[in-house]
Amino acid sequence: MLGKVDRDSTAYWLLFKGNKILISEDKVLEFTLPELDFFKLSEKLVRSQFLGQVEGRSYYAAELTPDIAVPENMLFCNLYRLFGKIPDALFFLAGKAYQILHWDRTHQYCSQCGAGTENKIDERAKLCPACGRVNYPRISPAIIVAITRDREILLAKGSRFQADFYSVLAGFVEPGETFEECVQREVREEVGLEVKNIRYFGSQPWPFPDSLMVGFTAEYAGGDIKIDENEILNAGWFDVDQLPQIPGTRSIAWSLIDWFIELAKNE
């Protein structure tokens, strides 16, 4: 069963308290808790979900009660702070755990009739025993796009950016839109520009809490920059040799900007 606690003491656990994950103090994710008696672990679980198996070993995500004692030399850390500081495979496994627990937490009751839901035993879904409605984990697709003009790239500082850096534009896909239509709408709404030659670049799951970032490249087609002041603090064209502070490595935003740098310098 997807939500049932496995009493196999060799299983790996990714443990959360609220939105924070338990790690060792040297910032390396710790999957097992030898400090805790495994058979008492279930007493501290708010919820758990099976993540899958890797090389025959089971992986679980679990949310612990707020009163859980932190084992020695460990701490609860915001998952976002670990991005770029631990191996990608490890981060996205932790991100998957975070996203699934968030879904579990927010789907305890049926949105159709209000009855309590149950874990569906044959797939990852929540089943309402009263009306039969099935809810799967939510994934919110969003586009992110690098817009180029010769040796320049359009970068913007968003109003929600916590750090003082510039990045490429991004936005959520609306119902009825293709990804390409979303690119055109978001660019038009946020900076007042038109784009052409939209091409798929790549994708990256972004578990904060449930996004899937779908990357594109595009070329400037016309217009003058006119920012949406609710979304953008500043935006402009930046030459490849005069880039502002940009996102850290490993993010798809950084990959798009790095693609532009290599493209411009090879021309």
Annotated binding site for a divalent metal cation: 170, 186, 190, 231
Known binding residues for Zn(2+): 110, 113, 128, 131
Rounded-to-integer distance, Cα 146 and Cα 252, Å: 10
**Nearest-10 Cα torsion for 254, 257, 263, 265:** -100
Q: How many CB atoms lie within 10 A of CB 265?
A: 10
Rounded-to-integer distance, Cα 202 and Cα 207, Å: 17
110 phi and psi, to 5 degrees? -70, 130
Number of H helices, E strands in the chain: 4, 14
Known binding residues: 110, 113, 123, 128, 131, 136, 170, 186, 190, 204-211, 231, 253
Length in residues, the chain: 267
Rounded-to-integer distance, Cα 40 and Cα 37, Å: 5
8 Å CB contact between 159 and 116: no
Q: How many CB atoms lie within 10 A of CB 203?
A: 14
Residue reference for tokens 């308290």: 17
8 Å CB contact between 215 and 255: yes
Known binding residues for substrate: 123, 136, 204-211, 253
